Amino acid sequence: MAISLQDIIPQINAEIHGAISSAEIDLVSIDSRSMQNNAQTLFFALSGSNYDAHDYISELIDKGVQNFVVTHIPENLEGKATFYIVSNTKIALQQFAAYYRNLFNFPVIGITGSNGKTIVKEWLNFLLSPDYNIIRSPKSYNSQVGVPLSVLAINKMHNLGIFEAGISTLGEMQTLEKIIKPTIGILTNIGTAHDEGFANIGEKIKEKLQLFKGVDVLIYHKNKSIEQFLPCIALAVTPFTKEQGKTFSWSFKDKEADVFISKSVVLDKTHLTVDYQKESFDLKVPFLDDASVENAIQCLMVLLYFGYSFATIESRMELLYPVEMRLKVKNGINNTTIIDDSYSSDFQSLKIALDFLESQKQHKKKTLILSDIFQSGLSNDELYARVSQLVIANKIHRVIGIGETISNYKTKFVNCGTFKSTDDFIEAFDSLTFENETLLIKGARSFEFEKIVTLLEQKTHETVLEINLNAISHNLSYFKTKLKTTTKLMVMVKAFGYGNGGFEIAKLLEHLKVDYLGVAFADEGISLKISGIKTKIMVLNPENTSFPSIIQYELEPEIYCMKGLNAFLKIAEQKELHHYPIHLKIDTGMHRLGFQERDLPVLIETLKNTPSIKVKSILSHLATSDDLENRAFTHEQIALFEKLSQRIMDELGINPIRHILNTSGISNFGESQYDMVRLGIGLYGISNDDKEQKYLENVSTLKSVISQIRTIDKGESVGYGRRFIAEKTTKIATIPIGYADGISRSWGNEIGYVMIKNQKAPILGSICMDMLMVDCTAIPCTEGDSVVIFGENPTVKMIAEKTHTIPYEILTSISQRVKRVFYRE
């Protein structure tokens, strides 16, 4: 994009503070972490319940950004940059995008529906890219913010747009329609699930249809409950003709549809017979499941509408492939971290991947492995000049280019090696070094970069714990909505982030600006500090011997007894510290750690005249905050906390942070939030309250694969002790995960199950140390298929109930030999 600021201002009704430069803007950004921000950036300071980008403006000014769309000028920044003040920055971004969209006039496909939007978009891109310069939403950017950002990436070379729109409540589609302005509409599977945000399914359909009110044609799966609402957007069901047809429908059942399709399964493909305008032809798609077949047909409809020949349609559709949209973080060989984005390569998604690399970086050194880039809408000279600028802005140390085209532009990059093909790279692999660095692997599908990922990935067994970083952010915002804006937040990342991974989660929390992190032992805090975490860290249970290293790494100890206090004071005085922060723990009824009422006189006396330390906070811990039957006990704990902490504060004349609530405390005793709360299990998506559970997103999914399948006869047994005897012929799958990985034996013997292809497979017989066996008689599965041990279903909570423990124990028991993979949606 290249657009002058003068043109933008009237579009967003901004009041200007500062000088407007005559320079053009070539990037719109909302992400303060992006290293792509520079003097040509227009930054929109969005804010949400847990996030306010106005807080990052001063950092951005230091990085050279000069133009900001804001709701107010942050303190002390007046005159330091140019500010465009609007009443709502998100709306301003949307207005700007709508204006920008209107500068272009080419066909735009708009996709909405409940399921399949991203897949249809990616497949259409694949099917149409031989003939068009396509601009499409990157990843699944389909929200009120994602759509404007997608549209703002259009440039003058594009001649076809494909954008998806997702909504969660009434009124949102109106806004997206103005920004996308589709000329061709696709309504994917609408789903019957009752969504939050809509009164009923009719209301949901009507709202989704708003996207299509200006289209030349709407493509949809013929369905009466949708058709009754078409008049609302001035469309009628008419037989399709190229000249006037406004709807273009397909069906497996209804011969009235414009396209009638019959399907059958032959081996591993679905064969479709397509009847269209009195002609008929056959094609194959490489999928068996209903959802994929439906999505493929939506794409087929677009090809028919565009007038492609049956032969072309047939040959292109046969090549459709499964879509993987997630950026994954994996552990690689020689202490490398891999960011795997091996399924797409276009300029927009490269920018997103580089931002992700920056937010995740765990090593100073960064290498980019990049294939040829397709469909940028730019000439190769211009494209690789821009890629080179991006690489420099992101301080990438080394580039490995793979492909004929990128090889020709080798000289554009510093420290660059190139290979003509993926196979050439693999051949040379042994002569290359990869160590102590982060590797971003980004390639177009045809380059099969998954082969490179396999080479670089650390070899462990096939079981992984996948951690959804978006869900963590979501859960954090949810709990923030329960707090006053002034209440500080400590997040507990003890026990390796409740089993989910310490550093990665701490890094995300640091970005989300939590006030404190809490760990159990000094070494956990030290390893976070060594990895570069700067957020303050409280150590709950420091051993006296760890005090010197606590001080060396600037950790803040919790002090819970006189012996500890005296030991810490001695070291603090020796090191001549001044006001070193400590946290006083009071025992109000948990009877685990902490000063009791009778200890207070000595404690207070000791703390008088100790300038080497400072009581930063006073805390206590609740024993039954999750159990409302025991609420009287909790109220007693809180009352005692109030009394004792007040006494310490009065007698010492201090005003520390006070905190007592853990997750269930926040849910049930919010009125006692004091100055800070300590969030733990809730962040990881688990609530003790079923109502609240609905608002949290699942964070961790434990996955494995089927190692072997066999069929046993009636009367035969499975596993140690022959605890399962087959009553009929039974198909058994062996999964390489056992109690040494943290799966309790009490989940075996048909009490528990795993999910294979979305179906329950009961665990048969005793769980072994490294393996378990399941019944998959009714499931069409093969060796190598993926298995879910827990996640959305079964949930950790369900397993905990059935095995008579608590979710905390299950999460923290997952052995460290299980690889952790972090991803963002």
Ligand X SMILES: *Cc1c(COP(=O)(O)O)cnc(C)c1O
Active-site residue numbers?
494, 720
In the complex, least distance from residue 523 CB atom to ligand X, rounded to whole angstroms:
17
What CA–CA distances, in Å, run from 664 to 340, 626, 627?
37, 5, 9
Residues 693, 687: Cα–Cα separation, whole Å: 5
Is-contact 522 550, C-beta < 8 A?
Answer: yes
Residues 149, 137: Cα–Cα separation, whole Å: 8
Instruction: Give backbone dihedrals phi and psi of 257, rounded to 5 degrees, phi first.
Output: -65, 155
* Per-residue tokens: 49: 């319940």
Q: Which amino acid is at 304?
A: L
* Per-residue tokens: 444: 């177009």
* Per-residue tokens: 507: 């890094």
In the complex, least distance from residue 812 CB atom to ligand X, rounded to whole angstroms:
10
In the complex, least distance from residue 536 CB atom to ligand X, rounded to whole angstroms:
15
Kind and range of the H or E run holding 300: helix 290-305
| 328 versus 659: smaller Cβ distance to ligand X | 659
Would you state the torsion angle of the CA atoms of residues 181, 193, 325, 793, taken in this order, to the nearest 10 degrees? 170
Place of tokens 């396509």: 134
SS3 label, residue 29: strand
Is-contact 628 692, C-beta < 8 A?
Answer: no
What CA–CA distances, in Å, run from 121 to 352, 458, 653, 766?
18, 33, 64, 46
What CA–CA distances, in Å, run from 190 to 27, 187, 209, 256?
35, 7, 11, 20
Nearest Cα to 235, choosing from 207, 215, 249?
A: 215
What CA–CA distances, in Å, run from 823 to 340, 358, 466, 555?
10, 14, 7, 29
| 257 versus 686: smaller Cβ distance to ligand X | 686
| 69 versus 622: smaller Cβ distance to ligand X | 622
CB atoms within 10 A of CB 596: 14
CB atoms within 10 A of CB 697: 15
Residue in the shown chain whose Cβ atom is closest to ligand X? 680
Place of tokens 């039974």: 730
SS3 label, residue 93: helix
Residues 348, 24: Cα–Cα separation, whole Å: 20
Place of tokens 């028991």: 813
| Footprint of ligand X (CB under 6 A) | 492, 540, 621, 662-664, 678-682
Residues 673, 549: Cα–Cα separation, whole Å: 32
| 438 versus 667: smaller Cβ distance to ligand X | 667
Compute CA 329 distance to the chain's CA centroid, rounded to the nearest angstrom.
Answer: 11
* Per-residue tokens: 439: 């590797």
Is-contact 297 261, C-beta < 8 A?
Answer: yes
- Residues 6 or more apart whose Cβ sits within 8 Å of residue 748: 723, 763, 764, 765, 766, 767, 772
| 455 versus 623: smaller Cβ distance to ligand X | 623
What CA–CA distances, in Å, run from 45 to 55, 59, 154, 353?
9, 13, 22, 21
* Per-residue tokens: 302: 């677009």
As a 3-state breakdown, the chain gives helix, strand, coil percent values, each rounded to 5, of: 35, 25, 40
The pairing of strands 217-221 and 67-70 is unpaired
Residues 427, 416: Cα–Cα separation, whole Å: 18
In the complex, least distance from residue 621 CB atom to ligand X, rounded to whole angstroms:
4
- Residues 6 or more apart whose Cβ sits within 8 Å of residue 202: 225, 229
First and final C-alpha spacing in the chain: 26
In the complex, least distance from residue 537 CB atom to ligand X, rounded to whole angstroms:
14
Q: Which amino acid is at 501?
A: G
Is-contact 614 582, C-beta < 8 A?
Answer: yes
Place of tokens 């950002």: 149
Residues 656, 676: Cα–Cα separation, whole Å: 11
| 375 versus 473: smaller Cβ distance to ligand X | 473
Strand partners, 636: none
- Residues 6 or more apart whose Cβ sits within 8 Å of residue 249: 219, 220, 221, 222, 237, 240, 257, 258, 259
In the complex, least distance from residue 540 CB atom to ligand X, rounded to whole angstroms:
6
SS3 label, residue 816: coil
In the complex, least distance from residue 236 CB atom to ligand X, rounded to whole angstroms:
56
In the complex, least distance from residue 592 CB atom to ligand X, rounded to whole angstroms:
9
In the complex, least distance from residue 539 CB atom to ligand X, rounded to whole angstroms:
11
